[in-house]
Structure 1
Amino acid sequence: MTTVGEALIALLEAHGVDIVFGIPGVHTVELYRGLAGSRIRHVTPRHEQGAGFMADGYARASGKPGVAFVITGPGLTNTITAMGQARADSVPMLVISGVNATATLGRGLGYLHELPDQQGMMAKVAAFSERITDPARLPAVLARAFDLFRSARPGPVHIEIPLDVMGLPVEAMKPVRSEARPCTPDAVAVSRAVALLDNARRPLILAGGGARNAEAALRLLAERLDAPVVQTANARGLMHGHALAVPASPSLKAVRALMADSDVVLAAGTEFGPTDYDMYGDGGFVVPGQLVRIDIDASQLQRHPATVAMEADCGAALEALALAIDRPKASASGNERAASTRSAAFAEIGPAMQAQVAAVETIRTSLPGAIIVGDSTQPIYAANLYYDHDRRAGWFNAATGFGALGYGPPAAIGAALAVPDAPVVCLTGDGGFQFTLPEIAAALDAQAPVIFIVWNNRGYREIETSMRDVGVEPVGVSPAPPDFCKLADAYGIGSQRLEGPAGLGQALGRARATKKPFLIEISVE
């Protein structure tokens, strides 16, 4: 016999979970009963929001679901923000929480951490939320979560276990396994798409986050079509340095002009969200007329109807298309179209943002193959507009989609634990860093050698600019930053302060050589 909590740990091991991020509490003690004797590593953040963000960063960097353990009530509500970010960016995340004893639920009796309807609240954010009152259901519910991560559009899943169920004795449970896989591309849809693309004179590919694991097929298809490939922020790192790559935002006029000039557009794994396609809110984005869409989510395909819609995994669909177009097209001037768009897009962002992109490029040059995890800060905004990263799935941030400040530091820790051999850099601003600053101590505990770069312009400068642009007197945009280097020293973390980005390359080399967490503060006007 074992307990439900012990059975949970064994089932997670069977599903390949190797790290859990969480803060134990009296409402989750029984979930921890089997953890110490398992192969699963536990990492303790300083706040439950950090647990969720760490799970997010781990998932994006590893391709495996990130898992968080949190207590009922405030522990879970602290995690909702991270779940919202994961939902917006299709990140596989499993959040397992406690909940008060079954007989007390929904009665408003004033128990510790009580909510009126915890599961109902979570169901609004999670892909699905399940309460385990019958322990025999646990293997099937976990299997449903991992099936979703594997075969559908991923996102956060919530499972709650009541206090009176966690410690119940049960017989050892066998994991429920299935062969769930994403939909394969429909042969008729492939033929229709090939007919459009093969006859196109000026084809174009839009690659979103759903294509980030399909680089080989994307490259092959682009070369056979001679089609430029525009990458949204979540697709950066694909086709680095390729003559057909356009690592620029579809919100830029130069990229929109390329789209308007294309006679057939293939959109792979992108939802046409405004934070990618209309970030300035000017309404200038128009869905292409001759459109082929690939998406794993049928509901996404319905939101923007296409000439040909393919419900399938991006990798499988792109490969099917590339194989069907079995020879390179006669020159469609794809390289020239891509080059002119890159040049025009970079010019469009202007000198100030170009300088910020140069700072990001210094990171790439100094630490080849690094994972750069961003918060909402000026260099991230600039690079989301135009920047070519050199590692697939190595550029992600919270400045698109849900847009949660404070994402960067904990997400970078999760990424560093997922890919321990890669350099990991967190690029954050002085404002956003203060949302989750204590998590640098979790990096030290976990021996995660994240390099934290703080772009310190002493306030929320982008918000201040937005206020001034519409004639609003700036209020509340200048929170005083602390001395970040002294705080790093207080945590026992090495640090260096720079006056402007000059010297960043050398500072990164010193930081990487320590093989420990390190903080670089860049003071900018």
Structure 2
Amino acid sequence: MKLMTAGEAMIESAVANGVDTVFGIPGAQIYPLFDGIYKHDLNLIVPRHEQSAAYMAMGYAKSTGKTGTFAVVPGPGILNTTAALCTAMGNCSPVVGLTGQVPTPFVGKGRGHLHELKDQAGTLRSITKDAFTIDDPAQTAEVMNRAFDTAQSGRPGPVTVEMCWDTMATEGTFAAPASASTRMPEPDISPDSIKSAVDMIAKARKPMLMCGAGALHASEEVTALAELLNAPVTAFRSGRGVVSEDHPLGLSAVAARQLWDDCDLLIGIGSRLEMPYLRWGNYMQYERRPSSGPRLIRIDIDPDQMEIFAPDLGILGDAAQVCRALHDQLLDKVSPDPDRTEQIATAKARAWSALQGVQPQMAYLDVIRQVLPRDGFYVPELSQMGFTTWVGGLPVYQPRTYVEGGYQGTLGYGFPTALGVKVANPDRAVVSVSGDGGFMFGVQELMTAAEFNIGLVSIVVNNHSYGNVRRDQQQGFGSRFSGSELKTPDFVKLAESFGVQAYRVDSPQALKPVLEKCIALDEPCLIEIQSERGLESSPWPFIHPQGPLESA
């Protein structure tokens, strides 16, 4: 047994659950927590805004598969993280947020104590997987273990843990070290569902596989299944790189659309299937079941997904285990169409050729792909460059190397998330590409990058606007530009004032040597790309296509 405060016991439990880094900002209600961080010599990254702490934890989690951890004060502090918590929920990132509470006698009283909320846990529970409260210090390890289990179990996602101000400061004897959590077992895979899936797949002539975040750990198994079937594999955002896009069967969303009309079976693996049923369909019309398209098999660890969007056959289980079982049982039951290899190659070539019209984004992305190592990370943003990457403008070669925000579409997530990616992967190149609008949401974190020597390369495309909003207003509202045109700072001087090396370029040719230099430096760097307002071609015809390219 060891004498410590309950706040330190929270950190003991976090360490026992594998935490080595905390992103956080200290404050009155959580001093004992930060004292525990100090005593355990954890890697503490202190951002300049609470929202960034949670985004950094998300980047850490999304790029590694491990749990990202942040700590902020209650009330306005934890509320500042909610945009990031929503994003982590949307892109299935295991994140644990540690926070405080008002003193115990004030909970729920509405007296107006410092940072008091009417129902903090209830508010957080409405946007996360769960929100835990530690009332009894003796239960600290148990509750913390449940929190880490919840973040990682099933469909990963964010959770929070709160403890009252006075409770956190209470000294007591705790087991040292606190016992680590034991993950809940994955659900048993139904043999009947595997048998039914084998029958459906064996009869299919042109199957397609589509991956999401639930397949990120199953690259080997998905690739083996695809190769057995000679079937194309695609993804929209989170599942990019599960099968490398330079593999003969790995293809972008635009290429997949060329094969969609002939597809007779879609196998969704850990994916919400947003691309084919929303982006390629009616984005404004909810359907519980597909009203058109091929037969559908869904593989997902989350049983709710089978009700939210019902397939012809749902297989509940871990993606790697299910794909391995299907592969093994299909070995002597399939005779793949050898002509599909050429069909897939043609679709990929046609898609790549068509995307070259999205300029200047594709020219810049081509340079970035040339310079960025295969295992390097690319973190996009809600921007013209980012939207272009959604549909294949930047090929992705390995799982987790394309760290996207998911369906929430949270402007401003890119730069702080990329800082968390680099902290988690200090020996690998990380490039963040933002527009000037989104970058300004977190510009203060240039100081964090400088202070902690986070060697992120931040590219800012300065087109003096919220580019997508401006285009929509131009096309749909008679060029009545309402709030979409921006005055921007001198990003080079701004970065240099933070102690960050900065450069300015105005062409893809000029970007290449500068990007090579910045990646080699492995220090915080900013590259501003000067761009004319309204210059970019729209990538949206490829995100919401009316049909395959030949009939578009």
Does residue 1:515 correspond to 2:522, yes or no?
yes
Instruction: State the match for 1:111 in structure 2.
Output: 113
Q: What amino acid is aligned across from residue 77 of structure 2 in structure 1?
A: G
Give the aligned residue type for 1:452. S
Given that residues 150 and 182 in structure 1 are in contact (C-alpha distance below 8 angstroms), is that contact kept between their aligned partners in structure 2? no
Deviations 1:320-362 (A, max 9, x none): 1112222573425332232233234345556125x41332232
Contact 2:132 2:147 in 1 (8 A): no
- The letter of the residue matching 1:506 is P
- What residue is the counterpart of 1:310 in the other structure? 315
Q: TM-score normalized by structure 2?
A: 0.90
Matching residue's letter, 2:454: A
Residues 244, 334 of structure 1: 8 Å contact kept: no
What is the 5 A alignment of 1:80-95? 80-95=82-97
Q: How far 1:286 moved relative to its partner? A: 5.6
2:481 aligned with 1:474, yes or no?
Answer: yes
Q: Report if aligned partners of 1:143, 1:176 keep a CA contact under 8 Å in 2.
A: yes
For 1:486 and 1:168, the matched residues in 2 are separated by: 48
Q: What letter matches 1:498 in structure 2?
A: V
What's the C-alpha RMSD, in Å, of the aligned pairs? Answer: 2.0
Structure 1 equivalent of residue 266 of structure 2: 265
1:21-58 Cα distance to aligned partner (Å, 9 max, x none): 00001121111122112142110001000001000000
Q: Report the equivalent of 1:416.
A: 422
Q: Given that residues 408 and 427 in structure 1 are in contact (C-alpha distance below 8 angstroms), is that contact kept between their aligned partners in structure 2?
A: yes
* Distance in 1 of aligned mates of 2:492 and 2:277: 34
Cα 1:276–1:208 change in 2 (3 A) is: farther
| Separation in structure 2 between the aligned mates of residue 326 and residue 199 of structure 1, nearest angstrom | 14
When residues 198 and 275 of structure 1 are mapped into structure 2, their CA distance, relative to the original with a 3 A threshold, is closer
Contact 1:236-1:395 at 8 Å conserved across structures: yes
Partner of 1:67: 69
TM-score, structure 1 as length reference = 0.94
Is the counterpart of residue 154 in structure 1 residue 156 in structure 2?
A: yes
State the shift of 1:177 in Å: 2.9
Q: Is contact 1:129–1:158 with CA below 8 Å preserved after alignment?
A: yes
Alpha-carbon contact 2:91-2:404 (below 8 Å) kept: no
Letter in 1 for 2:247: H
Which of 319, 326, 337 matches 1:331? 337
Cα shift at 1:3: 1.1
| Aligned counterpart, 2:199 | 195
Partner of 2:465: 459
Distance 1:287 1:494, change over 3 A: farther
Deviates more, 1:451-460 or 1:148-157: 148-157
SS in 2 for 1:246: coil
- Match of 2:126, as an amino acid? K
The CA distance in 2 between the partners of 1:236 and 1:286, in whole Å, is 26
The one of 373, 382, 385 aligned to 1:379: 385
- Tell me whether 1:502 sits opposite 2:509 in the alignment: yes
Q: Does the CA-based 8 Å contact 1:131-1:159 persist in structure 2?
A: yes
Question: Which of 497, 501, 519 is equivalent to 1:490?
Answer: 497
Change in 2 beyond 3 A, CA 1:420/1:186: same
Amino acid at match of 1:301: M
Residues 267, 293 of structure 1: 8 Å contact kept: yes
Q: How many residues align structurally?
A: 519
Equivalent in the alignment of 1:366: 371
CA-CA distance at 1:446 after TM superposition: 1.9
Q: Is contact 1:184–1:316 with CA below 8 Å preserved after alignment?
A: no
Alpha-carbon distance in structure 1 between the residues aligned to 2:281 and 2:462: 24
Asked whether the 8 Å contact 1:448–1:517 carries over to 2, the reply is yes
> Among residues 116, 130, 133, which one is paired with 1:131 in the alignment?
133
- 1:25 maps to 27
Structure 2 gap segments, 5+ residues each: 533-552
* Secondary structure, aligned partner of 1:165: helix
Q: 2: CA distance between counterparts of 1:258 and 1:374?
A: 27
Residue 340 of structure 1 pairs with residue 342 of structure 2? no
C-alpha displacement at 1:276, in angstroms?
8.3
Contact 1:98–1:160 (8 Å) recurs in 2: yes
Partner of 2:121, secondary structure, is: helix
Q: SS at the partner of 2:224?
A: helix
Kindly provide the amino acid, as one letter, of the partner of residue 243 in structure 1.
P
Identical pairs, percent: 31
On the 8 A contact 2:271/2:300 being kept in 1, the answer is yes
Aligned partners of 1:226 and 1:333 also within 8 Å = no
The range that moved more, 6-15 or 317-326, is: 317-326
Gaps of 5+ in 1: none
Structure-to-structure mapping, 1:212-361, within 5 angstroms: 212-240=216-244, 241-248=246-253, 255-256=256-257, 258-273=259-274, 277-278=278-279, 288-326=293-331, 329-349=335-355, 351-353=357-359, 355-361=360-366
Establish whether residue 433 from structure 1 lines up as the match of residue 439 from structure 2.
yes
Q: Is the 8 A contact 2:355 2:362 kept in 1?
A: no
> Where does residue 10 of structure 1 map in the other structure?
12
For each residue in 1:361-388, what CA deviation from the matched residue of structure 2 results, as whole angstroms up to 9, or x when unmatched?
Answer: 3212112121011111111101111232
SS at match of 2:189: coil
Kept in 1, the 8 Å contact 2:13–2:141? The answer is yes
Separation in structure 2 between the aligned mates of residue 88 and residue 282 of structure 1, nearest angstrom: 17
Partner residue of 2:123? 121
Q: CA 1:271–1:501 in structure 2 vs 1: closer, same or farther (change >3 Å)?
A: same
Contact between 2:58 and 2:94, CA under 8 Å: does it hold in 1? Answer: yes
Q: Taking structure 1 as reference, are residues 45 and 276 closer, same or farther at Cα in structure 2, changes over 3 Å only? A: farther
Between the aligned partners of 1:296 and 1:330, the Cα distance in structure 2 is 28
Q: Deviations over 1:82-111 (max 9, x none)?
A: 000001111101011111012112222121
Provide the C-alpha distance between the structure 2 equivalents of 1:143 and 1:373, rounded to a whole number of angstroms: 30
- Cα 1:263–1:411 shift into 2, 3 Å: same
The residue identity in structure 2 corresponding to 1:516 is E
